[in-house]
Amino acid sequence: MDNKNNTENEKKNQDVISLINSWQLHALNSIEQAKEPEYIGDIPIILPAFDETVFNMVVADAGMGKSLMSRSIIQYILDNYDDIVVVWVDLEFQEMVAKQRGVLDLIANYSNRFYLITQNNVNEIRENSKKLKTTFSIVNFLLNELRKHMSDKRFFCVIDSFEDLVEDTSNDTELKRHFNNLSNLKSFSFLFNHHINKDVVKNNSMRFRGSMIIKAKLSTLLLIQNKTKEDDFTLLFELLVLKVRTAFPPSQKISVRVDINNFEIKDMLITTDVEEIKILKSIYFLLMKEKELQKTVLVNTVSQEVRKRKEKVRAVIQKYSRFFDFVKGVRNEEKVSLTKNVDLIDEFCSLIGVQNRNYTEKQRELWKVLLDMNDDDVIDLTVNFDNKVVEYKYVKTLKNHIHELNDKQVDYILSNLVNKVENT
């Protein structure tokens, strides 16, 4: 009897070992075939791989532009990835805000690739369903149905906001259950918009509201540190990378420049400094106007324009010296001009968010007029673009968008600028 039991136990042990060995082989094959994570450009938000689920989160204080940032990321994905379906779960939905964010264009131009789920839709299902009562259960149900309907697609899902999806962000048990349920949605990458912790937190990586479970489940966690309006149409977001589970340089700063007129991501810049960009932009326009300046004059003028110390301006010129030519003048006074290297000029313009184009004769005429005006001068001009009205409030906006104007529009602007100058 004992021999029989020993034989059965030995067989069971062998079966378990065989099972573990098969797991090892499967893991080996999976690791060998693993691909590098697919980021959204230089922003460490991970796009979905087939049969995997990824959780990303952006945290910021109210009014810092989390939803606007998400809208631009949605546009970027729809324009660059034909195989990804975007779902925007807008639980803070307001009709007028949605109109301003161009949601009508998304619905009209990306049929079968963009889906909007609002709080109104959630409420409608809640009223008509006996089983689905919580916001999470309803959203989870809808996403599962989309996944079944398009099993050959990858999905990018924006949840705005996380607190409206999860009733208690401090409840560990509830959070684990919700994340586990979402993990069953394969080929999904989630981007949760979440609010910042109002308490004083020394550790940046804990700036979000709620349990540590949130951070543990995320693949990436980004903090919007600053938002700067560069001109009428351009916002520059500074993002601090708080967590990236995969191979990406830690504690990086990412700057993302967004055109809020068409929700286009214009640039994604790693380890940039908004103050530096402001100084470089001032230097660029000054040297475009003067061609060449004594270094001391350049430093003094830029320092006054951007209201930064001269030491900071000098440090920036030194750091980005590859973009400038330096010539010794009389009494060894150093003169500075923009580099003649076309590739470096393109890189410089990309860094500061300025279009470097070959202007038409009319555009150059407008350019010369604008160079004699201050960047922050208010011009309040309205121009028609194929039945679309665009308003230019500041001189600096026109400088950045001259390349978009045809000769007729340039003539219209020039005549208006002359009238404004004569009136003043």
| C-alpha 264: how far from chain center | 10
Q: Is the pLDDT of residue 247 over 60?
A: no
Give mean pLDDT, residues 70-80: 94
Q: What is the pTM of this model?
A: 0.74
Q: Which helix (H) or strand (E) holds 100?
A: helix 95-100
126 burial type by CB count under 10 A (0-12 exposed, 13-18 middle, 19+ buried): middle
Amino acid present at 103: V
Q: Is the pLDDT of residue 51 over 90?
A: no
Give mean pLDDT, residues 218-239: 88
Instruction: For 167-225, write each residue's pLDDT tens digit.
Output: 888 899 999 999 999 999 999 999 999 988 766 566 666 678 888 999 899 999 999 98
Alpha-carbon distance 253 to 239, whole Å? 6
Alpha-carbon distance 211 to 178, whole Å? 13
Helix axes of 274-290 and 342-352: crossing angle, nearest 10 degrees: 130
Pull the structure tokens for residue 360: 């038409």
Instruction: For 301-346, write each residue's pLDDT tens digit.
Output: 999 888 889 999 999 999 999 999 999 877 778 999 999 888 888 8
Q: Which helix (H) or strand (E) holds 399?
A: helix 395-401
Short-list 377, 361, 358, CA closest to 417:
377
pLDDT of residue 422: 47
Short-list 74, 82, 81, 77, CA closest to 98:
74
Query: Do 74 and 158 form a contact (C-beta atoms < 8 A)?
Result: yes
Alpha-carbon distance 390 to 412, whole Å? 13
Instruction: For 336-372, write each residue's pLDDT tens digit.
Output: 999 988 888 888 887 887 766 567 788 878 887 887 7
Q: Which residue has the tokens 């679309």?
A: 388
Pull the structure tokens for residue 409: 């529009």
Alpha-carbon distance 61 to 387, whole Å? 37
pLDDT of residue 416: 83
Q: Is the pLDDT of residue 140 over 50?
A: yes
Give mean pLDDT, residues 384-404: 79
Residue 300: pLDDT band (50, 70, 90) is very high
Helix, strand, or coil here: 221? strand
Question: Peptide bond before 161: cis, by omega within 30 degrees of 0?
Answer: yes
298 burial type by CB count under 10 A (0-12 exposed, 13-18 middle, 19+ buried): buried
Query: Do 53 and 183 form a contact (C-beta atoms < 8 A)?
Result: yes
Q: Which helix (H) or strand (E) holds 60?
A: strand 53-60
Could you please report the per-residue DSSP string of 143-208?
HHHHHHHTTTSEEEEEEE-HHHHSS-TT-HHHHHHHHHHHHTSTTEEEEEEEEBP-S--SSGGG-B
Residue 223: CB partners within 8 Å, gap ≥ 6? 58, 59, 60, 196, 204, 207, 239, 240, 242
Q: Which residue has the tokens 């004083």?
A: 200
CB atoms within 10 A of CB 17: 10
Q: For residues 315 and 31, which has the higher predicted lDDT (pLDDT)? A: 315
Percent of the chain's residues with pLDDT above 70: 90
Q: For residues 9 and 188, which has the higher predicted lDDT (pLDDT)? A: 188
Query: Do 393 and 376 form a contact (C-beta atoms < 8 A)?
Result: no
Mean pLDDT (the chain, rounded): 85
Q: Is the pLDDT of residue 162 over 90?
A: yes
Give mean pLDDT, residues 85-93: 94
Residue 67: CB partners within 8 Å, gap ≥ 6? 92, 101, 160, 193
pLDDT of residue 125: 93
Q: Is the pLDDT of residue 101 over 60?
A: yes
